[in-house]
Amino acid sequence: MSLHDDIKETENHSCSCGDGVAASSYCRDCKDYLCQRCVSAHYRVRLTKDHIIVKAEQKENNVEQHRQMPYLLSPPCENQNYCTSHTNEVLRLFCDSCSVAICNQCTVFQHSGHNFQYLKDAVEDSKTATISLLSDAKNDLRSLEKSILDIQLLIDRVIGRSKLVVTDVHSMTHKHMMALEQRERDLIEKIEKIKLAKCQILTSQIDRLQQSASSLKTTIEDVKETLDSGEALEILKAKQKMETGLLNISRFCVTTIPHDDDVIMFVQPEPGLLHAFTSLGNVKSSVSAQHSLLSKDGGPSNTVLCGTNASFTIHARDHAGAPRHIGGDVFEILIRRPDSSTFRADVLDSGEGRYRFCFPAVQEGKYSVSAWCRGLPVCDSPFNLLVKRNINYSSRAAAGTPVLTFGKEGSKDGELCRPWGICCDSQGHLIVADRSNNRLQIFNYDGSFHHKFGTSGSRPGQFDRPAGVTVNKQGQIVVADKDNHRIQIFCFDGTFVGMFGERGSKSGQFNYPWDVAVNSVGMIAVTDTRNHRIQLFSPDGTFLHKYGFEGALWKHFDSPRGVAFSHDRIIVTDFNNHRLVIIEPDLQSARYLGSEGNQALQFLRPQGVAIDEEGNIVVADSRNHRIQVFTPTGGLIAVFGGASTTNGSALMDRPSGVTVTPHGHIAVVDFGNNRVIVF
């Protein structure tokens, strides 16, 4: 009978020991069923300790395994090792399932039903695989060593190339310095020639004048002596002698006016020459990932709306941080969606050092945008982009109930007195210009007081009725210090950073600046209310441009109040003309939106204005006691407050400042009620 036929016998056998105990195992060598006691005895007896024993229920599978792996009956390998779990048991098998060496007893107990092979064969297989891995490792090591050598050689070339370029710079500057020094010598030589020529002419004139003066002096002395003691005939001749002396003076000395002048001047070269020397030559390098910048188009916000395209720009810089104005650089873009899937975006090279790419933001949640150049990440990469659903103003306006109201009249912390401006930073803090308290107050997003700064006065850090307020990309707070006729800039904690402006009507001066706005590149727009214009400044306060009307035309732009950037355009509330002015990027032309009244798209004394992430326009329609929200083209979306409001908590009294929070809520300064309402 074969081993297979023997094991195919009826299951549920009793042990052959005669105790009537059910068999739990089967010995392949004895071809007999064993109870647990007999199994232990098998392993204690020298004659049977090397027998192969399996679980009774696993006998058929093990028979098949036994057919395929006859090496299980092979003799143990040399240099025997012993099992730590079963005393004096030789490790002759290898469990593929657990990757450990085992003894025969382990096959029954700890590793029952696992796949085994003879330990010697496992060692050989491991050795073969290790040799292959060792070969791969050696290849990888050679590749790494080659890369190290190549990079080191590249470093040496960079050092050598920099020395050559330094030599070129020295040579160029030396050549120009020699030319300048030669020019200096030529100019000085010419000055010396002019000096000598002028001095010679004037010296010769002095000599002639001195001769004439000496002759005239002699004549004067002779004539005087004659008049004092001369005889009558000598006195008669004295007149003729005097006339002759004077005639000689006029004959040999035509004039006493200097025969030359002191005109010697240096004519300065064209101003462009100095600029040419200060920018003489240039040093060019390849693109540097660490100095290049990744930024989102369309403003400083890190959010876009679901279903729109997210657009980014890489501004290429070299290793010195200077902009590169040529193309040809290679950037790799990887975008990770909220579900952790990734994809690559194609990059459009503008050829001027700017590289643009965009992708559809189709999933709500957090995207990660990474940009690399030569394996290194671009500065500000990865960029975390939040994709949000559209803001539903209509449903909020229909509900009519504010989500938050805080503040009351007073001067204590958290209390307000005739507030005007409001803005929100990226962390959700609400910053309020507490106008008549001459301070700024910062509140948490839940309306709780955070901190304050500012006192009454005109020194840096003090205020006189501050009005508009905004936050730039660096988190700094920019304030229209209205009655001090200036703009002040602070850190979030109130540390004074700088200021610009003074009272007046010239460019860069103000006459009651009322509101302030900052765009994505830090330019500052100010409503110069009593000068009936807006002014545009660089981030450091340098005047750039203005829009407004001079003279009799000023009433076409009468007392602008609120201001906000909408991409490249500037939106302004034209307070006394009851409308919005949308100023084009060139600051030369504008269009108007709205008229006087209390209907949709009509205003009475509009004040603050804000732009949300979708480009919608939010306006504080002050004397209509409401907030109106419009599409970028002027279509009405929603109205909050107003005479028709039945919810008392939503009633407003001359709303002034307005802002849109990162969560899409509209925060309004309820001026007449000395509070803030959030819809």
Which residue do the tokens 């395929």 mark?
A: 68
Task: Identify whether residues 222 and 295 lie together within a single domain.
Answer: no
CA Rg value for the chain: 48
- SS3 at position 498: strand
Residue scoring higher pLDDT (390 or 671): 671
Banded pLDDT at 272 (limits 50, 70, 90): confident
Query: In this model, does residue 17 exceed pLDDT 80?
Result: no
| Stretch 184-211: mean pLDDT | 89
Give me the pLDDT at residue 3, please. Answer: 34
CA distances from 249 to 206, 224, 510 (A): 14, 18, 70
Query: In this model, does residue 464 exceed pLDDT 90?
Result: yes
Give me the pLDDT at residue 592, please. Answer: 92
Q: How many alpha carbons fall within 13 Å on the CB side of residue 404?
A: 17
β-strand pairing of 617-621 with 606-611:
antiparallel
Summarize pLDDT for 416-443 with one digit per residue, the tens.
999 999 999 988 999 999 999 999 999 9
The residue out of 83, 102, 121 marking a domain boundary is: 121
Give the chain's mean pLDDT: 86
Query: In this model, does residue 120 exceed pLDDT 80?
Result: yes
Give me the pLDDT at residue 328, please. Answer: 92
Query: In this model, does residue 491 exceed pLDDT 70?
Result: yes
- SS3 at position 205: helix
531: domain CATH number is: 2.120.10.30
Structural domain contains residue 398: no
CA 48 to chain CA centroid, nearest Å: 79
Give me the pLDDT at residue 70, please. Answer: 37
Give me the pLDDT at residue 65, please. Answer: 45
Query: CA-based angle 147:150:156, to the nearest 5?
Result: 140
Summarize pLDDT for 301-319 with one digit per residue, the tens.
688 888 888 999 999 999 8
Provide the edge-to-edge strand list for the sheet that holds 430-434.
422-424, 430-434, 439-443, 449-453
- SS3 at position 429: coil
| Stretch 69-89: mean pLDDT | 61
Banded pLDDT at 338 (limits 50, 70, 90): very high
| Stretch 99-106: mean pLDDT | 87
Query: In this model, does residue 1 exceed pLDDT 50?
Result: no
Query: In this model, does residue 481 exceed pLDDT 80?
Result: yes
Task: Identify whether residues 113 and 51 lie together within a single domain.
Answer: no
Residue scoring higher pLDDT (356 or 52): 356
Summarize pLDDT for 274-308 with one digit per residue, the tens.
777 777 787 788 899 999 999 888 765 688 888 88
Give me the pLDDT at residue 316, please. Answer: 94
Query: In this model, does residue 384 exceed pLDDT 70?
Result: yes
Structural domain contains residue 136: yes
Residues in contact with 294: Cβ distance below 8 Å, sequence separation at least 6, in sequence order: 312, 313, 314, 369, 371, 378, 379, 380, 381, 383
Task: Identify whether residues 155 and 227 lie together within a single domain.
Answer: yes
Give me the pLDDT at residue 518, please. Answer: 96
Other CB atoms within 10 A of residue 515 CB: 30
Task: Identify whether residues 106 and 185 lie together within a single domain.
Answer: no
35: domain CATH number is: 3.30.160
| Pair 234, 225: CB distance under 8 Å | no
Task: Identify whether residues 470 and 603 lie together within a single domain.
Answer: yes
For residue 582 the two structure tokens come to 């949308």
Residue scoring higher pLDDT (627 or 123): 627
Residue scoring higher pLDDT (378 or 47): 378
Lowest mean pLDDT among 54-58, 181-185, 519-523, 602-606: 54-58
Structural domain contains residue 274: no
Residue scoring higher pLDDT (133 or 249): 133
Name the residue among 613, 615, 617, 611 with its Cα closest to residue 593. Answer: 617
Give me the pLDDT at residue 521, please. Answer: 87
Task: Identify whether residues 459 and 551 lie together within a single domain.
Answer: yes
Which residues sit opposite 499 in a β-bridge?
A: 488
Task: Identify whether residues 492 and 608 lie together within a single domain.
Answer: yes
Domain, as residue range, for 296: 288-388
| Stretch 320-334: mean pLDDT | 91
Task: Identify whether residues 627 and 519 lie together within a single domain.
Answer: yes
Task: Identify whether residues 520 and 628 lie together within a single domain.
Answer: yes
| Stretch 452-461: mean pLDDT | 96
- SS3 at position 502: coil
Banded pLDDT at 600 (limits 50, 70, 90): confident
Q: Where are the alpha helices (DSSP H) in 253-403?
A: 271-278, 393-399
The answer to whether the peptide bond before residue 560 is cis (omega within 30 degrees of 0) is no
Give me the pLDDT at residue 268, please. Answer: 82
pTM over 0.75: no
384: domain CATH number is: 2.60.40.10
Summarize pLDDT for 229-265 with one digit per residue, the tens.
877 777 778 778 787 877 777 665 556 788 888 888 8
Structural domain contains residue 524: yes
Give me the pLDDT at residue 121, please. Answer: 85
Give me the pLDDT at residue 253, please. Answer: 53
Give me the pLDDT at residue 397, please. Answer: 86
Give the chain's domain count.
5
Structural domain contains residue 273: no
Give me the pLDDT at residue 240, please. Answer: 80
Lowest mean pLDDT among 297-306, 355-364, 403-412: 297-306
Residues in contact with 512: Cβ distance below 8 Å, sequence separation at least 6, in sequence order: 482, 483, 485, 528, 529, 530
Task: Identify whether residues 345 and 418 lie together within a single domain.
Answer: no
Structural domain contains residue 84: no
31: left (phi over 0), alpha (psi -120 to 50) or beta: left
Structural domain contains residue 396: no
Task: Identify whether residues 602 and 543 lie together within a single domain.
Answer: yes
Structural domain contains residue 276: no
Summarize pLDDT for 30-50 with one digit per residue, the tens.
878 888 778 777 766 666 766
Q: How far apart are CA 468 and CA 476, in angstroms?
A: 14
Task: Identify whether residues 441 and 568 lie together within a single domain.
Answer: yes
The residue out of 121, 137, 163 marking a domain boundary is: 121
Q: Which of 105-119, 153-167, 479-493, 552-566 has maximum average pLDDT?
A: 479-493
